[in-house]
Amino acid sequence: YAARSVVPQAICMPNSVVGIQGCLRAASHSQFEFDSVSVIGGGHSANCIAMDALAIDMSCWNKVEVRPKEMMVRAGGGATCGDITLAAEKEGLLIPLGDRPGVGIGLIIAG
C-alpha cells in the first residue's frame, strides 16, 4: 500500500462525532504544528496520509446498513469493500466491488 510509506505526525482514531471534533480542534492548535489533516478510510490511497499531518483513522466508522427492499446500502466512512460485501451477502445481495476487501469505500466512491 502506498499509504504505508508515509508517516503522519500523529494518528487519532475517533469513535464518536465529538471525537472527530476533538481531533480537528487539536489540529488547529498551533502547539502541534500539523501541516495538514488527512483522513484514512481503508488506507490504500497515497492521498489518505500526508507527511507531518494529523491523520484521522475512520476504521471505527465501519458500520454498514443494507436495505434489500430499497436496494440501498449505507456505509460509514471507515467501511471497506469487504465490510459492504459481507453485509450485502447476509441479505442475499451481490455488490461487485472488486477483489480487494480491504480497500476503503471512500476510495471506490471518489474514483
DSSP-assigned states of every residue in 64-108: EEEEGGGTEEEE-TT-BHHHHHHHHHHTT------S-TTSBHHHH
**How would residue 16 be classed by pLDDT, with cut points 50, 70 and 90?**
very high
What is the per-residue pLDDT across 41-67, written as a single tens digit (0 to 9) for each?
Answer: 877 666 677 777 888 999 999 999 999
| 17 CB burial (10 A radius; 0-12, 13-18, 19+) | exposed
Q: Examine the pLDDT at 34 and tell me if it is beyond 90.
A: no
What is the per-residue pLDDT across 61-97, written as a single tens digit (0 to 9) for each?
Answer: 999 999 999 989 999 989 988 999 999 999 998 888 7
